[in-house]
Chain A
Amino acid sequence: MSLNGTSAADVQRLQQLQQGVWSPLPLIRRRWLRVSLNLGVLAYVIAAWLSVDVNWDRVAQGMDRGVEFVASFMSPDFVSRSGEIFVGLQESLTMTFTATIIGVLLAVPVGLGAARNIAPAPVYYICRTIIALSRTFQEIIIAILFVAMFGFGPLAGVITLAFATIGFMAKLLAEDIEDAQREPLEAIRATGGTWLQWVNYAVQPQVMPRLIGLSLYRLDINFRESAVIGIVGAGGIGATLNTSINRYDYDTSAAILLLIIAIVLLSEYFSGYVRRWTQ
């Protein structure tokens, strides 16, 4: 038994233990540090709360508008703008599917390269950089850039969503590969197959269920995002929604939001079903 690092505190704990007194080790062992950290966090929260300047008159005004908006959910208007809504939805769904497929296809090689246990160091760093770039910027910022580059419309939207999908999928795929069981990886390598055969036989079966689950999850994230990036001009149902809000046409906005909710719920149900089936 090694006695290195035995301190007076350890001895005291052991003596107390003998007398039946024991409590788990605290996360931070130095008492003064533990106490002052806790007090510091509390003080910060109070200071932060006091520094927020709330204009209660404006809140009261906004409440009315908010109530109006919520009330319109009781009378959604699917009919008077049905043409625009239909075109918007169709465009959003097309954008979503195209972007998800392109994004997932591009994410697979990046994800393989970003898995520490299977990629050599230079490839690993390149792929991690791609992931970091893609994940740093929120979809709206990327959308603004691509709208500026490719003009208004769904092309900018598709490229935005595909780009965001790469970072998301590649990161989670790489993590799943890093969690793969080591022994099957060794076993297939020991058969003398090529790298591609090894990926196909040892890696793919272990990560496929997760890859499918994540792709479906990303599909519904992309649908929701397509509604948001439409507001900055990247096409789809978001553009329609934005127009209706600007016109104070809350009944149509409510109809659009209800449709978005319905589609997200449907895809949620569908992806749960597929995930159970691929396990």
Chain B
Amino acid sequence: MLTLSGVSKRYQTSELALSDIDLTIPAGQVIALIGPSGAGKSTLIRCVNRLIEPTDGKVQLDSEDITRVRGARLRQARRQIGMIFQNYALVERLSVMENVLSGRLAYVGFWRSYFRRFPKSDIQQAFHLLRRVGLETMFDKRGDALSGGQKQRVGIARALMQNPKLLLVDEPTASLDPKTSRQIMRLICDLCREQQLAAIINIHDVVLAQQFVDRVVGLRAGRIVFDGSPQDLSPAILTSIYGEEDWEVPADNEDDDERSPPEDRVRTLTVDAHP
């Protein structure tokens, strides 16, 4: 359904953020994209809906090449791709209902959206989605009156209002507490299964990802270094993605070699300054 072939991205004056990514996602598959900060996860999903222009390669959605389309055809492609953000990305001064209905912008004309006169079917769909995410009584609240978890639910409803085929999900739980994180992940994955949606979920929390997704793709320094089922993620593979670290030892009694005594640092500095 979604095929990336040879996708690369080079930001001005820096090295490759993405290099030669090949990835195929069949309809209805939920994949987690894991990797260290700066590995190119956000860049990758933004290359799919062209919020970032890939430097090289091809993005195909349902066998339509959307890498070079512009104007109305780009908007047509974007409306088939819903997006969910790390910091929720609600327009905080708009009401919950306006935020959810903004998912229909590509389906209605300017004046309809300007006067907030959406078709009845859209309003009903918005209500059903709000009920599905458990916020049907909040429809008149302003975006900034909600808690983090609630904002993310509105963000999910907005993405689904587009009737997308594919969801791009950028760190959905990074700003949430552990319990809300699990609820949000479960909600996203349940909705994807109900509606046969494919999804790419960028996520830091490997354990959480393993519990919910069908497939895991590991990214390191702009390249895919792992592509397989969540059960196959061994400590060796995690090391190949994130670098050296003892994955079995609890985090609080690890020996951190950054914490060398200050005398050593001074010696290092002095030695370096006077070679």
Task: List A residues at the B interface (Cβ < 8 Å).
Answer: 3, 6-8, 10-11, 14-15, 18, 181, 183-184, 186-194, 196-198, 200-202, 205-206, 208-209
How many angstroms between the C-alpha atoms of A190 and B170 in the bound complex? 13
How many angstroms between the C-alpha atoms of A198 and B51 in the bound complex? 14
* 4 interchain residue pairs of minimum CB distance: A193-B105, A192-B79, A192-B106, A192-B78
> Quick one: closest B residue to A201, CB to CB?
B102
22 contacts between A and B (CB under 8 A): A6-B272, A6-B273, A14-B265, A14-B266, A14-B269, A15-B266, A181-B92, A183-B87, A187-B83, A188-B91, A190-B78, A191-B158, A191-B162, A192-B74, A193-B75, A193-B106, A194-B110, A197-B110, A198-B105, A200-B114, A201-B94, A205-B92
Chain B residues in 8 Å Cβ range of A3? 268-269, 272
Known contacts A192-B162, A193-B105, A201-B113; is-contact A186 B51 (Cβ 8 Å)? yes
Known contacts A10-B269, A205-B94; is-contact A188 B105 (Cβ 8 Å)? yes
Known contacts A3-B269, A191-B162, A205-B91; 16 additional CB pairs below 8 A are A3-B268, A7-B273, A11-B266, A11-B270, A18-B263, A181-B89, A181-B92, A183-B86, A183-B88, A184-B91, A186-B83, A191-B158, A193-B105, A197-B110, A201-B102, A205-B94
Q: Is B105 in contact with A191, judged by CB distance below 8 angstroms?
A: yes
- 8 Å CB contact of B158 from A14, A15, A18, A187: A187
Chain B residues in 8 Å Cβ range of A186? 51, 83, 85, 89
> Quick one: closest B residue to A209, CB to CB?
B93
Q: Is B102 in contact with A191, judged by CB distance below 8 angstroms?
A: yes
B-side interface residues, number (CB < 8 Å): 44
CB distance from B24 to the nearest CB of A (A): 22
- Per-residue CB contact flags for chain B residues 90-119 toward chain A (1 = under 8 Å, else 0) read 111110001000111110001001100000
Task: List B residues at the A interface (Cβ < 8 Å).
Answer: 49, 51, 74-83, 85-94, 98, 102-106, 110, 113-114, 155, 158, 162, 168, 262-263, 265-266, 268-270, 272-273
Known contacts A6-B272, A184-B90, A197-B110; is-contact A191 B103 (Cβ 8 Å)? yes
> Quick one: closest B residue to A184, CB to CB?
B91
Q: Is B85 in contact with A187, judged by CB distance below 8 angstroms?
A: yes
How many angstroms between the C-alpha atoms of A116 and B98 in the bound complex? 27
Main secondary structure, interface of A, reads helix
- 8 Å CB contact of A196 from B74, B103, B110, B158: B110
CB distance from A76 to the nearest CB of B (A): 45
> Quick one: closest A residue to B81, CB to CB?
A190
B78, B105, B106, most chain A CB atoms within 10 A: B105
CB distance from A51 to the nearest CB of B (A): 49
How many angstroms between the C-alpha atoms of A251 and B125 in the bound complex? 70
- 8 Å CB contact of B105 from A14, A18, A197: A197
Known contacts A186-B51, A192-B77, A192-B106; is-contact A202 B268 (Cβ 8 Å)? no
A8, A181, A184, A186, most chain B CB atoms within 10 A: A184
Chain B residues in 8 Å Cβ range of A205? 91-94
How many angstroms between the C-alpha atoms of A276 and B51 in the bound complex? 35
Main secondary structure, interface of B, reads helix
CB distance from B23 to the nearest CB of A (A): 19
A7, A10, A187, A194, most chain B CB atoms within 10 A: A187
CB distance from A9 to the nearest CB of B (A): 10
Q: Is A191 in contact with B273, judged by CB distance below 8 angstroms?
A: no
Chain A residues in 8 Å Cβ range of B270? 11
Q: Is A192 in contact with B105, judged by CB distance below 8 angstroms?
A: yes
- 8 Å CB contact of B51 from A10, A189, A194, A208: A189
Known contacts A190-B78, A190-B83; is-contact A183 B51 (Cβ 8 Å)? no
A11, A189, A193, A198, most chain B CB atoms within 10 A: A193
> Quick one: closest B residue to A189, CB to CB?
B51
How many angstroms between the C-alpha atoms of A202 and B270 in the bound complex? 53
How many angstroms between the C-alpha atoms of A202 and B110 in the bound complex? 14
How many angstroms between the C-alpha atoms of A192 and B113 in the bound complex? 13
> Quick one: closest A residue to B74, CB to CB?
A192
B86, B88, B89, B104, most chain A CB atoms within 10 A: B89
Chain B residues in 8 Å Cβ range of A18? 262-263, 266
Q: Is B106 in contact with A191, judged by CB distance below 8 angstroms?
A: yes
Known contacts A188-B102, A190-B78; is-contact A8 B273 (Cβ 8 Å)? yes
How many angstroms between the C-alpha atoms of A73 and B77 in the bound complex? 70
Q: Is B91 in contact with A201, judged by CB distance below 8 angstroms?
A: yes
How many angstroms between the C-alpha atoms of A191 and B104 in the bound complex? 7
How many angstroms between the C-alpha atoms of A198 and B75 in the bound complex? 12
How many angstroms between the C-alpha atoms of A207 and B162 in the bound complex? 26
Chain A residues in 8 Å Cβ range of B85? 183, 186-187
CB distance from B97 to the nearest CB of A (A): 13
How many angstroms between the C-alpha atoms of A200 and B88 in the bound complex? 19
How many angstroms between the C-alpha atoms of A8 and B87 in the bound complex? 44
